[in-house]
Chains A and B, each alone.
Chain A
């Protein structure tokens, strides 16, 4: 009995010490719609790694929705520790409200976007309309499905991809790009509000001959809806979609989660994180991982936002703001 008491005390002490050391950390990652599968895998891998290195368990909660809506929720008080959105403009909006340092895009490698995607075409099996490149989309009788750039971040990438293609043709200039894009949107029978809606319109409702989509969405749609139904066409020139990530400084500091949050976004750049991105159909930044998945991502010429349009703020003001180019093109309908 005499021996038992110190033993119990020691045990209690050990339990107490362990419970102090092993903290349970919760992160909230506010993301956009098509990253559900990606971050489910990332979160598991990151939690396992963090547990092994620090002994703490990390639970990453997710919030998915349209990219712009998600940014707005964070501005309005959704306590995100990390944002992983579809375009830099949406994170800029959060930064404008003082929640993230304005320099966020330089804090991580590769414009703070650990994985990329390309804008490609999803066509019906066998490609009955013979669509090979952007020029084929404006042939008579071809119907194109793409969401509305005014309500969908993904659709803004589509718009800029088309514009950039026209600009990069021999003798291409602003006027020709404008004419091409105007013609392209005349071939659009339905402007869905978001990317998933457009995929449904094309795949389930049988509308249109070609869907302009992110490569990861196209691959996912092909996997889920059947390889026997759709083909993917990668155009000669396309835009490199760079979905960015950032730690929400104000919230991470308030929650005391900065260290974990920073490790979380950096994890995306590790070989393991890159591997998971590639498995979920995002193009990895790491050349080694990319080489292993070369069969999945056909080579194509890509251009970036910064190469042709400056940055997202400039692109937004020039093309998508009220009364800007997209509105001017639509007015002629």
Chain B
């Protein structure tokens, strides 16, 4: 083995494993263990209940949609930040991180204040028949907010490293602008874009603090899955809450595996394109 910069593979690997075990695996194992209290029959009953299904549907589809919106808008904003120089660019750049730093409950309350029927934006949308706060649309808005920085921040370094001459080459070979974008730039960005998408998605699926204030929380309509977990805890139903948590974890895991497969596929696609 070649000489390493860090002291010994054994030591650093052991440390990494212990740390990961304590911080991530142990709590997850405890969750799974608590969930066994409910039994297979109980689990099936819990997961097939119409309320659970409706909440899971809202949480998952909301998160996917929010991540898609973030992917498109995040690409645009990342592009603007990397490619153009304009006054206030640094401030603009710093603003992107705000959703990371803000306590999610504060974000939720701020968004609700904005979009409530008597809020700054809500009072203009309401007469148009657009209801945001206390509807599934509100859930989507909050999910977009919390997931937004992930796409921008993962894309930025890759955008910065893109060689301008590739675009120029495409242009000189007669490619139109949209062709340059979809056939040259996008394939190079795709793996990173997918990473950002996956991060935004993972964040939105489990988001509680900001969504809860704007959701309305009406059963079957605007109730998110994490709220069901909190309700179970409120009724001292630890096993049910844990089971629902595990179910959500598995679903997000499946989604992330799917994204990873897409990523590998797009990687190969990008290699072949080059």
**Residues of A at under 8 Å CB distance from B?**
66, 68-69, 71-72, 75, 93, 148, 150-152, 188-193, 197, 204-207, 316, 320-322, 327, 330-331, 333
From B219, which residue of chain A is reached at the shortest CB distance? Answer: A330
**A192/B217 in contact, CB under 8 A:** yes
**B212/A189 in contact, CB under 8 A:** no
Distance in Å: Cβ of B213 to nearest Cβ of chain A: 7
Give the interface segment out of B174-182, B183-191, B234-242: B234-242
Q: Name the interface residues of B143-162: CB closer than 8 Å to any CB of A.
A: none
Q: Does B251 contact A (CB under 8 A)?
A: no
Q: Does B230 contact A (CB under 8 A)?
A: yes
Give the interface segment out of B64-72, B112-120, B164-172: B112-120
**Residues of B at under 8 Å CB distance from A?**
50-51, 112-113, 116-119, 133-134, 212-213, 216-221, 227, 230-231, 233-237, 240
| 8 Å CB contact of B134 from A151, A190, A320 | A190
From B122, which residue of chain A is reached at the shortest CB distance? Answer: A205
List, in ascending order, chain A residues with CB within 8 A of B50's CB: 331
* Binding site secondary structure of chain B: loop
**A327/B227 in contact, CB under 8 A:** no
Distance in Å: Cβ of B58 to nearest Cβ of chain A: 14
Contacts A207-B116, A331-B50 hold; do A66 and B234 have CB atoms under 8 A apart?
A: yes
Distance in Å: Cβ of B15 to nearest Cβ of chain A: 29
List, in ascending order, chain A residues with CB within 8 A of B235's CB: 68, 150, 316, 320-322
List, in ascending order, chain A residues with CB within 8 A of B133's CB: 205
Contacts A72-B236, A333-B220 hold; do A207 and B134 have CB atoms under 8 A apart?
A: yes
Bound form: Cα–Cα A69–B116 in Å = 28
| 8 Å CB contact of A148 from B112, B117, B119, B231 | B231
List, in ascending order, chain A residues with CB within 8 A of B217's CB: 148, 190-193
From A329, which residue of chain B is reached at the shortest CB distance? Answer: B219
Distance in Å: Cβ of B49 to nearest Cβ of chain A: 8
Bound form: Cα–Cα A66–B233 in Å = 12
Distance in Å: Cβ of B231 to nearest Cβ of chain A: 4
**B221/A151 in contact, CB under 8 A:** no
List, in ascending order, chain A residues with CB within 8 A of B234's CB: 66, 68-69, 150-152
**B117/A151 in contact, CB under 8 A:** no
| 8 Å CB contact of B216 from A69, A189, A331, A333 | A189
Bound form: Cα–Cα A188–B233 in Å = 23
From B216, which residue of chain A is reached at the shortest CB distance? Answer: A190
**A333/B218 in contact, CB under 8 A:** yes
Bound form: Cα–Cα A63–B133 in Å = 31
Bound form: Cα–Cα A233–B112 in Å = 28
| 8 Å CB contact of A207 from B51, B117, B220 | B117
**A191/B218 in contact, CB under 8 A:** yes
From B220, which residue of chain A is reached at the shortest CB distance? Answer: A333
| 8 Å CB contact of A151 from B118, B213, B230 | B230
From B46, which residue of chain A is reached at the shortest CB distance? Answer: A322
**B236/A333 in contact, CB under 8 A:** no
Contacts A190-B216, A190-B218, A322-B240 hold; do A69 and B233 have CB atoms under 8 A apart?
A: yes
Contacts A190-B216, A192-B217 hold; do A206 and B231 have CB atoms under 8 A apart?
A: no
Distance in Å: Cβ of B61 to nearest Cβ of chain A: 19
Distance in Å: Cβ of A184 to nearest Cβ of chain B: 14
**A193/B116 in contact, CB under 8 A:** no
| 8 Å CB contact of B212 from A193, A316, A320 | A193
Bound form: Cα–Cα A93–B233 in Å = 12
Q: List 11 A–B pairs whose Cβ atoms lie within 8 Å, in order of A's numbering.
A: A68-B236, A148-B217, A148-B231, A193-B217, A205-B112, A205-B119, A206-B116, A206-B118, A321-B235, A322-B235, A327-B51
